[in-house]
C-alpha cells in the first residue's frame, strides 16, 4: 500500500480547506475530509488518472460516543490499476446526513443502507434508503455505543402481539 506523496498533494491543491488530516499507520494511508466536499472528492478519486480508485472495497460507520462529531463514515478505496488502497474518513455529527456516493460506486448502495440501518446516519440522494439487515419498524440503531449489547428489551417478557 505504498502511497507516493504526490497524488495527495494534488488532492490538497484542489480542495485546500477540505483535507483535514492525512495519517499513515502500518503503511495504510488515511485521509480525513470535510463532509461538504465528500462527493466531489470521491468523484475526483474515482476518475482522475492519478488516482483511479474505481473499486469501493468497503464502507462502514464508527461511533465515537462521547466525542463530537460523534460518527465517522469510513470508505476503503482500491485502485486496481495502481494496486493501491486508501481510506477516506468523514466525520458526521449526530442528526446530520451525508451525501451518498451510490452514483459513483454502485457497491455503496447496500453498504450505505447498512450504515443507515445500524447507525442511523441518513444518506442524501440514495435511491433506496431502507433498513437492510433489520426489519422495517425496528426501533434503535444497534451498532451505536449507547445501544445495549443484549438489546433494549432483553429482560422483558416476550408477548406475542396478534
Q: Is 135 in the site for another protein (CB under 8 A)?
A: yes
Report if residue 34 touches another protein, rule: CB under 8 A: no
126 in contact with another protein (CB under 8 A): no
Is 85 a residue that touches another protein (CB under 8 A)?
yes
How many of the other CB atoms lie within 10 Å of CB of 143? Answer: 15
By the rule CB under 8 A, 60 interacts with another protein = yes
| CB hemisphere CA count around 111 (13 angstroms) | 17
Q: In the complex with another protein, which residue's Cβ is closer, 17 or 149?
A: 149
- Least separation, in Å, of the C-beta of 130 and another protein? 10
CB of 149 to another protein, least distance (A): 5
Q: Which residues bind another protein (CB under 8 A)?
A: 1, 25-26, 28, 30, 54-58, 60, 62-63, 74, 76, 80, 83, 85, 87, 105-107, 109-111, 118, 131-135, 142-143, 147, 149
Amino acid at each position: 500500500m505504498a502511497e507516493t506523496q504526490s497524488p495527495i498533494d494534488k488532492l490538497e491543491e484542489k480542495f485546500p480547506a477540505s483535507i483535514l488530516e492525512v495519517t499513515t499507520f502500518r503503511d495504510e494511508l488515511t485521509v480525513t475530509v470535510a463532509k461538504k466536499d465528500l462527493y466531489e472528492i470521491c468523484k475526483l478519486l474515482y476518475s482522475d488518472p492519478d488516482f483511479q480508485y474505481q473499486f469501493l472495497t468497503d464502507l462502514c460507520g464508527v461511533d465515537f460516543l462521547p466525542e463530537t462529531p460523534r460518527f465517522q463514515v469510513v470508505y476503503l478505496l482500491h485502485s486496481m490499476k495502481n494496486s493501491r488502497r486508501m481510506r477516506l474518513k468523514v466525520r458526521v455529527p449526530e442528526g446530520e446526513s451525508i451525501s451518498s456516493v451510490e452514483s459513483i460506486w454502485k457497491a455503496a448502495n447496500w453498504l450505505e443502507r447498512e450504515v443507515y440501518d445500524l447507525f442511523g446516519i441518513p444518506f442524501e440522494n440514495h435511491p433506496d434508503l431502507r433498513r437492510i439487515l433489520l426489519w422495517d419498524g425496528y426501533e434503535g440503531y444497534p451498532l451505536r455505543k449507547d445501544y445495549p449489547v443484549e438489546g433494549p428489551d432483553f429482560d422483558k417478557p416476550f408477548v406475542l402481539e396478534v
